[in-house]
């Protein structure tokens, strides 16, 4: 059986989720890896059986055997690497966010149109089993018209440092890193309504709090506590043209009792919670009911969701499915993210339509 030859560009922490999921797929071959840190690339190649190692992604993309790539690099490189891959005729799975600016997003979208290749944005929460169940229930009309959603992803201590804390490379802090996930899944489940306006705030009061003892947190491979010019906290109110609204807040560090992830949607026939666990709220015979589905995973399962995402990408690259997270959705998400930062900077509401 001929396998889809995959290359992974960038071998930092998130690349393992891609590599392991490809390794699990019977129709995928981990063909090549690429990283500026060629020694790290060699180590990953040895771990996952890749036959080719590159330090320059242009050289990697010139290989005619290569068919598709995962892009796991710094956010500020997503646009040039994606465009180069598409121009080379490769299918692309690019980690979120799609890029740093709306202008870059539009250039990527044009490259997708010109190439005819698949580009899948790494909105991994869309591929979770809980999101799939809730999407089916929403599509069946169980919630009715969704008019309000709210989502939080609050870390009391969790600035990863390194490139995550360097605005030039990351584009921002918790909003563009973890906030993009909860913002996207709400928008997706709401039916992807057109944005009318955005009003937001960002705060940079606490820094990375590297002085805190006794509480561990994820650190980037290039962790450096001395560099931090991104926000600690962001919040936003997004209004849509259909009258619906979405509230979101997200932090890397906050004087909070505990970490919190919460995703809730409210319709005129029922409500739902995706996090902290899947739950439906309904009304039957004049009684309000809380309905808990019996499922393997009641909350977001990282490994399974990544496997689902990679499986879907392979199917899309082989022409069997359309991606659940196409480039046009990446463009719309960049419009929202950039509007949030602009609103916070200017202190004004930003109108997008």
Helix, strand, coil percent content, the chain, rounded in steps of 5: 35, 25, 40
Contact 217/225 with Cβ under 8 angstroms?
no
pLDDT given for residue 105 in this prediction: 98
Model confidence at 129: pLDDT above 80? yes
Give bridge partners of residue 8 from the DSSP assignment.
33, 70
pLDDT above 90 (res 224)? no
Spacing of C-alpha 208 from chain mean position: 22
Grade residue 266 by pLDDT with cuts at 50, 70 and 90.
Answer: very high
- The CA distance from 166 to 309, in Å, is 28
Tell me the torsion sign for CA atoms 283, 284, 288, 293. negative
What confidence score (pLDDT) does residue 2 get?
87
Q: Are strands 245-251 and 52-54 parallel, antiparallel or unpaired?
A: unpaired
pLDDT at 218 over 90: no
If you average pLDDT over residues 248-276, what whole number do you get?
Answer: 98
Mean pLDDT of the chain: 97
Mean predicted confidence (pLDDT) in 16-26: 98
Peptide bond into 246 cis (omega under 30): no
Residue intervals of the chain classified under CATH 3.30.360.10 are: 126-301+332-351
Cβ atoms of 29 and 314 closer than 8 Å: no
- pLDDT for position 1: 61
pLDDT (mean) for 104-129: 98
- pLDDT at residue number 220: 87
List helix spans (H) across the chain: 15-24, 38-48, 57-61, 78-87, 102-115, 129-139, 167-170, 174, 180-189, 302-317, 327-346
Structure tokens that stand for 302 in this block: 């990282």
Which among 193, 190, 156, 159 is positioned nearest to 174, based on CA atoms?
A: 159
Q: Across residues 46-66, what is the average pLDDT?
A: 98
In the chain, list all ranges with CATH 3.40.50.720.
Answer: 4-125+317-322
Residue 20 above 80 pLDDT? Answer: yes
Percent of the chain with pLDDT over 90: 95
Contact, 52 vs 32, CB < 8 A?
yes
Q: Say which CATH superfamily domain 126-301+332-351 falls into.
A: Dihydrodipicolinate Reductase; domain 2 (3.30.360.10)
Q: Which whole-number Å values give the CA distances from 217 to 116, 125, 161, 208, 214, in the listed order?
A: 41, 21, 11, 11, 10
Task: pLDDT band for 353, please (50, 70, 90 cuts).
Answer: confident
DSSP code of 82?
H
Start-to-end Cα distance in the chain? 50
CATH number for the domain whose boundaries are 4-125+317-322: 3.40.50.720
- In whole angstroms, give the CA distance from residue 82 to residue 78: 6
Q: Which two tokens stand for residue 151?
A: 């989502």
**pLDDT bracket for residue 346 (50, 70, 90):** very high
For residue 44 the two structure tokens come to 């990953």
Q: What is the mean pLDDT of residues 317-339?
A: 98
User: Can you tell me which residue has the tokens 């509401």?
Assistant: 349
At 221, the pLDDT band (50, 70, 90 cuts) reads: confident
If we measure between CA atoms, which residue out of 21, 13, 106 comes closest to residue 313? 21
């Amino acid at each position: 059986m001929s396998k889809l030859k995959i290359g992974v560009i960038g071998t930092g922490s998130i690349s393992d989720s891609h590599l392991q999921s490809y390794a699990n797929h019977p129709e995928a071959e981990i063909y090549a890896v690429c990283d500026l840190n060629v020694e790290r690339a060699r180590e990953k190649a040895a771990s996952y059986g890749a036959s080719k190692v590159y330090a320059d992604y242009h050289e990697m993309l010139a290989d005619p055997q290569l068919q598709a790539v995962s892009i796991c690099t710094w956010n500020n490189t997503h646009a040039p690497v994606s465009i180069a891959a598409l121009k080379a005729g490769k299918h692309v799975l690019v980690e979120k966010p799609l890029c740093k600016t709306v202008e870059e997003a539009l250039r990527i979208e044009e490259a997708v149109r010109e190439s005819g290749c698949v580009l899948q944005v790494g909105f991994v929460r869309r591929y979770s089993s809980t999101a799939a169940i809730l999407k089916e229930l929403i599509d069946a009309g169980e919630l009715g018209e969704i008019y309000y959603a709210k989502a939080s992803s609050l870390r009391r201590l969790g600035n990863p440092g390194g490139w995550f804390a360097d605005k030039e490379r990351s584009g921002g802090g918790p909003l563009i890193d973890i906030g993009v996930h909860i913002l996207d899944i709400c928008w997706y489940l709401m039916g992807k309504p057109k944005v009318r306006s955005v009003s937001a705030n960002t705060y940079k009061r606490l820094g990375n709090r590297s002085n805190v003892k006794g509480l561990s947190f994820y650190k980037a491979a290039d962790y450096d506590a001395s560099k931090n010019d991104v926000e600690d906290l962001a919040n936003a109110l997004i209004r849509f043209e259909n009258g619906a609204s979405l509230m979101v807040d997200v932090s890397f560090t906050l004087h909070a009792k505990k970490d919190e992830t919460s995703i809730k949607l409210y319709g005129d026939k029922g409500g739902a919670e995706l996090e902290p666990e899947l739950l439906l709220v309904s009304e039957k015979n004049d009684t309000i009911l809380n309905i808990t589905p019996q499922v393997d995973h009641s909350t977001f399962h990282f490994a399974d969701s990544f496997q689902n995402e990679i499986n879907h990408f392979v199917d899309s690259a082989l022409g069997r499915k359309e991606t659940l997270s196409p480039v046009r959705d990446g463009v719309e998400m960049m419009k929202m993210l950039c509007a949030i930062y602009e609103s916070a900077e200017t202190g004004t509401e930003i109108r997008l339509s």
